[in-house]
Structures are given as C-alpha cells and as structure tokens.
Amino acid sequence: MIVSNLTTQNSLQLQQCAREERKGARRSVNFAGGLVFASIALMYGIQIVLNLVLQLNGALGGSNSILLEYLSSCISYLFLALIPIAYALAGREPADQLLPFQKPQTVGLTNGDLLLLGAVGMALTLASNYPTELVRMLQQAFGFSGNIPDMPLNHSIGTQVFYLIYGTVIPPLVEEILFRGVVIGCLQRWGDWFAIVTSALLFGLYHGNVGQFVFATLVGLIFGYLRIRTQSLLPGMVLHMLNNGFATLGTVITQNFGSHVSNIYFLTYFTVFYGAAALLIVFRLFTKGTKSFANLKIPYRRMASTLAARVRGLVTSFGGIAMLAYGAILSVIVLVRS
C-alpha cells in the first residue's frame, strides 16, 4: 500500500511538472513569436519610410534607383536586430545567455572539434537545398513557378557590390542575433532541443515563402545546434555568411558569365565542402575512434513533458499564431504572384 501511494504521488507530481513546463513553454513561445513579429514590423516600417523619402525626392526614378533600393534595404534590415539587442541590454536576463560568444575551450571543445562541426554543418546546410528543390518541383507540378523572391540585379558594379553585401553580411549578422541569440536564449529554459526546434520553425516562417520555409527551418536546426553546443553565435554566423556568400556570388556569376559558368562554380564549392566534411569524419574515426563523437552531443536534460507538447505553443499562443499567420499569408501571396 505504501509503495502504491508513493507511485501515485510521484505520478501526480510528474503530471504537475509536465503541465508547468507546457505553460512555461507556451509563455516563452508567445514572447519569442511576439519579439520576432515586432522586429519584422519595425524592419518593414523603416523600409517603407526610407522608400517614401526616396520617392518624394524623385530618387527612385533615376539611373541609380536599384542602388538606392539596396541601400534602403540594407539600412532597414539592420533594424531587425534593434529590438532583440535592446532586450538583451535591458538586463532582464543575462546578456551572455541571449548573445553568447564563449570560447570553444570553455565548453569542452577543441579546435579540431570546432573544425569538424563547421565542415559538417556547412555540408548539411548545402544538403538542405535538395528538399527545397523538391518543394520547388512540386510547386511547378501544380502550375506555380516555384521561384524564390530576390532583389533586382543588373550589370552595374555598385549594384552588384550592394547585392553581395545585402546577401552575405547583413542577414547573417542580424538573423543570428535575433533567432539563435535572443529567441533561443528566451526558450532554452524549457529544453535545449525545444529551443532549437521552435527557433528553427520561427526562422522558417519569417522567410514568408514555402521554399525558403523548408530551407530556413532545416538550416535553423543546424545553426541552433551549433549555438547550443558551442555556446556561441559565431559558428552560426560564419556558416550563415558562407552559405549566403557563395549563393549570392553564384547569382552574380550567372549575371555576368552565364549559367554554364555558374553551374561549374556551384558544383565546385559543393564538392569541396562535401569532400572536406567526409575527410574530417574519416580522419577522426581513424585517429580518435567513434567515442570521440560523444563530445559533440548536447548534454541530455530530462523533462517531464514531451518535446511535441512544448512546441505546441506555436499554435496555442498569440505570438506563435501571429508568426504562423504572417508566414502563411506571405507564402500565399508569393505563390499567387508566381
């Protein structure tokens, strides 16, 4: 009888803990979703104001109109990080939890570990293009173009330079600060993988179209894992810049030299990163054995509730629903326009 009562009591306590975790996770998702939504609104608001100023001054009708559009976009994109940085500096939570930049040695990683994580992370990021391409093919099967919206590009050197800056430098910096920095920092209390998965889904919804939702969600999982395991935003920023940089450079090469040259370029750098990842994995296996990979795992944290139950906050909180609506509405608009 005593054993039975203890078992019942433990079961009730476990259920109570699970309820508290679900409630806490929902509140965190509500805040994180609201933070992302507010940041997006601020970015678009600044862009509208800047474009209106340019239009009123007759600047958008001239020969430098595309260049000025890029300048406007670059400036407004920086405002995406304003609210999360302000929140991190407000001191409600430790700044190093929201914007961490730990050295590898302080979290038990060697330079070799970091090199392996970077190479494999980049290879997986490139591999995320394949399911994205599958989605594009499915869209085309239903009569849509499947094209992903992009900024205009011409043969002007100034425009191409701003195109590279806009694609390579600014998004990785501000998006990593927002999604892998403050968003994961706000969610991490309710589980590392909960924070990784939820931030990745918010990152996918933020892009506002079906193709990029798939790609951004997958790379969000990769960058989120790197952020948690390394306790630093730097690895994700570097991989994000590499991915965007190679992609935007490929577009510039296509613009200037044609698709044949760009296809060779894409094949070359895909092969280099896949080869580097494979070689580093094989080298580690032969030199350190399979047990050495255990150091790369995220430490296990036992939770009373399931991961799915906590992620459900995306559809049961105002902030989560706002982001779902934003992502769905923009995706429909992009599909219709294509």
Q: Where are the domains of the chain?
A: 23-337
Residues of the chain with pLDDT under 70: 1-7, 9, 59-63, 149-151
Q: Please, is 40 exposed, middle or buried when counting C-beta atoms within 10 Å of its C-beta (0-12, 13-18, 19+)? A: buried
**Cα–Cα separations (whole angstroms), residue 116 to 109, 160, 215, 221, 279:** 11, 33, 22, 17, 10
Which residue, among 197, 219, 195, has the nearest Cα to 207 in the 3D structure? 219
- Report whether 126 contacts 270 (CB < 8 A): yes
Amino acid identity at 97: Q
Q: Please, is 170 exposed, middle or buried when counting C-beta atoms within 10 Å of its C-beta (0-12, 13-18, 19+)? A: buried
Which residue, among 335, 240, 303, 248, has the nearest Cα to 25 in the 3D structure? 303
Report pLDDT for 146: 74
Report pLDDT for 182: 97
Report pLDDT for 236: 96
Partners of 101 in the β-ladder: 232
Q: Tokens standing for 226?
A: 């790197």
Q: Please, is 149 exposed, middle or buried when counting C-beta atoms within 10 Å of its C-beta (0-12, 13-18, 19+)? A: middle
Which stretch of DSSP H or E encloses residue 176? none
Which residue, among 72, 138, 183, has the nearest Cα to 338 in the 3D structure? 138
C-alpha neighbours within 13 Å on the C-beta side of residue 143: 2
Report pLDDT for 5: 57
Please state the pTM of the whole predicted model: 0.93
Instruction: Round to whole Å and give the CA distance between 247 and 254.
Output: 11
Report pLDDT for 3: 47
Report pLDDT for 7: 67
Torsion, CA 158, CA 162, CA 165, CA 168, rounded to 10: -110
Q: Tokens standing for 62?
A: 């001239």
Q: Tokens standing for 166?
A: 């806009």
Sequence-separated (6 or more) residues with CB below 8 Å from residue 1? none
Which of helix, strand or coil describes residue 62? coil
Report pLDDT for 63: 62
Q: What does the DSSP 8-state code read for residue 294?
A: G
